[in-house]
Every structure is written in structure tokens, then in C-alpha cells.
Amino acid sequence: MSFQTVVKTVLILALLFVMLYVGMNNPHAIDFRFPIAGITAKQPIHAPAAIIYFCVFAVGVLAGTLLHSSKGGKKSGGKEK
């Protein structure tokens, strides 16, 4: 196990702690509006603040993972024909 793996694990645990902390301190329901998407323009999503925070965080993590993991169509280490 490398040092880099330990650092990444600690950072993920820190992010999970922040999400837990936000969830514990924001149990009340809120109206979430995101008019650009068009779905919530007329009728907002009414849910607990912690759930909405988690969903926005999860979308950001997934988007970052997809952007980070894509190779852009380039082959590494192969010869071009």
C-alpha cells in the first residue's frame, strides 16, 4: 500500500465526515430550484437539506470521476498506424 493510497483514503473519509456533519445539522426540509434544468422551474423538489446536499455532491463526484478517467480517445503506449 502506497502513501498516496493512504492520503486518498483519508481525504475520502474527511469528505464523508463533512457530509455526515451537514446531514446531522440540516434535518429540515427545503425547496430546491434549478431552473436551468427546466424540471424544477415550476415545481421545486421539496426534500431534507441533507439529502439534496448529498445528491448534488454525488453528481459532482461522478462527473469528476468520469472526466478524470476518460482518456480522450488517445491510446497510450501503442503505435499509430
CA distances from 20 to 4, 24, 31, 62, 68 (A): 24, 6, 20, 19, 25
Residue 13 pLDDT greater than 60, yes or no:
yes
Structure-block grid coordinates of residue 51? 439529502
Predicted TM-score of the model (pTM): 0.58
19-29: average pLDDT: 82
Grouping H, G, I as helix, E, B as strand and the rest as coil, residue 46 is strand
**How far is residue 12's CA from residue 74's CA, in Å, rounded to a whole number?**
29
- Structure confidence at residue 78 (pLDDT): 53
In contact, 44 and 29? CB cutoff 8 Å: no
Predicted confidence (pLDDT) per residue in 36-80, tens digit: 877 777 888 888 888 888 888 888 888 888 887 776 555 555 555
